Structure 1
Amino acid sequence: MSPLILIPARMRATRLPGKPLADICGRPMIVHVAERARESGLGRVVVATDTVEVADVVRAHGFEAVMTRVEHESGSDRIFEALTTVDPDGAVETIINVQGDLPTIDPKTIRAALAPFENPAVDIATLGVEITRDDEKTNPNVVKIVGSPLSENRLRALYFTRATAPWGEGALFHHIGLYAYRRSALERFVKLRPSPLEKREKLEQLRALEAGMRIDAEIVATVPLGVDTPEDLERAREILSR
């Protein structure tokens, strides 16, 4: 079965209000993200939003959009509602959650998220990048994957943390918040209550690990630019204008 790519988009970002519709080289940011997702060649792309204006803009640019409830607290809850709306019969077996603020993401990076599913024991797949800058190793905004190496390009995630970990000599890995789910794993995940370590670290993926679910991470070359501030937006405009 072809995967379904779901892109959650909400207008209430505190640092950059209305960012899904921010103009980048003549098109809204959310349209750029949908274009990158389509260029991955993986299959159907749907934007999941709680704002009619976002849905209308997405559809006007030839993409599919679905309305979801306003009160969702996480992107995983929003994409699960979208999944049940666009695929009520359960035909889709694999879901990729691409954040709606990644307008410059390489389509190959999106495809890489599926690689860990070569192992049928993996419930959730995600991405990581080796940290090369010393300041990022101690930055709590750079989430680290603590994992057991499976190969040169893959880790089995044992923990995610804002701390500098693991201790000692060796590589540290920056977690990229792009996820692929087996449908059964997403269904299970959204039914779980927030877990103690999740609430302490403020990292939703720890809920899955604490419940015994398996997350593997594919290691890629670069961190995609997430647009969270006006400065990020200007950088995205510069990159996409080339």
Structure 2
Amino acid sequence: MEFVVVIPARYASTRLPGKPLADICGKPMIQHVYEKAVASGASQVYVATDHQTVFDAVKKFTDNVLMTREDHQSGTERLAEVVEQLKLESDTIVVNVQGDEPLLASENVSQVAMLLADSDAPMATLSTSIDEIDDIFNPNCVKVINDADNNALYFSRSPIPYHRDAMMNDDKDKLNLADFARHIGIYAYRAGFIKDYIELPESRLELLESLEQLRVLYHGHKIKIAKALSAPQAGVDTPEDLARVIAVLGN
């Protein structure tokens, strides 16, 4: 099975400006992500950026770098431009890997690609267990529930499923962590569907939750989902996150 990986790498970041170029043990962060993606067995791995400085830095370790527009409102829109630039066939499997995950598990990349290849869904993603009760209530921890056929039913920043007895009685001890799953922000798409997606009207749900994948469900399309083979490490959003990653990769 062949698949292509695209790594969006925006230069701008409120909490960590120039994030893709942050030095981690002598390499820019985006190079660590690129190398992990290559290790997944992808037929090609591309970095898509909107900034010349990032473009020039990536050129030092691969020619597979694309300059994209600055006005994209989402990662999927940037992905659609990449599909057009590369002239990918509509049935090509494209995996979108976040550019701020230098501890990316390569096996999760190949897993989500295979998950899509073995289904009739136009899109696939992964989830993982929730280990802390507080994460159930943390809006930055996106929860997901699926149906009996492992298609996503809904994604939310709120606790789902809603445990009526525990919530109404404010009794966290009644909550069973096994009832909850955290969404991992890695997606596989069929290239043709990426073009279709950006033509879909925005949904009220995605605006309320600030979760663009809800547009797919709202318009009746399936998202296949499975538990990740490897529990994902947290990405880099802050200087503290960067220091943690440096400590891990420096050992």
Same fold flag (TM > 0.5): yes
Aligned counterpart, 2:137? 138
Aligned counterpart, 1:163? 158
Q: Residues 164 and 70 from structure 1, CA distance in 2 versus in 1: closer, same or farther, beyond 3 angstroms?
A: same
- Decide which structure has the larger Cα Rg and report it: 2
Report the count of equivalent residues: 237
Q: Distance in 2 between matches of 1:33 and 1:196?
A: 33
Q: Residues 22 and 92 from structure 1, CA distance in 2 versus in 1: closer, same or farther, beyond 3 angstroms?
A: farther
Contact 2:101 2:236 in 1 (8 A): yes
Q: Residues 147 and 36 from structure 1, CA distance in 2 versus in 1: closer, same or farther, beyond 3 angstroms?
A: same
AA at the equivalent of 1:30: I
Aligned counterpart, 1:66? 66
Deviation at 1:204, TM superposition (A): 0.3
Q: Give SS of 1:113's match.
A: helix
Aligned counterpart, 2:102? 103
Q: Give SS of 2:234's match.
A: coil
Deviation at 1:63, TM superposition (A): 4.5
Identity of aligned residues (%): 40
Deviating 4+ runs (over 3 angstroms): none
1:59-98 equivalences under 5 Å are 59-86=59-86, 88=87, 90=89, 93-98=92-97
Deviation at 1:56, TM superposition (A): 1.1
Q: Structure 2: where are the runs of 5+ without partners?
A: 164-175
Contact 2:6 2:46 in 1 (8 A): yes
AA at the equivalent of 1:165: I
Higher strand share: 1
Q: Distance in 2 between matches of 1:184 and 1:82?
A: 12
1:1-242 equivalences under 5 Å are 2-86=2-86, 88=87, 90=89, 93-150=92-149, 155-168=150-163, 170-220=178-228, 221-242=230-251
Q: Give SS of 1:6's match.
A: strand
Q: Distance in 1 between matches of 2:100 and 2:63?
A: 16
What is the TM-score with the length of structure 2 in the denominator?
Answer: 0.90
Q: Distance in 2 between matches of 1:146 and 1:212?
A: 16
Q: CA RMSD in A?
A: 1.5
Q: Distance in 2 between matches of 1:24 and 1:3?
A: 28
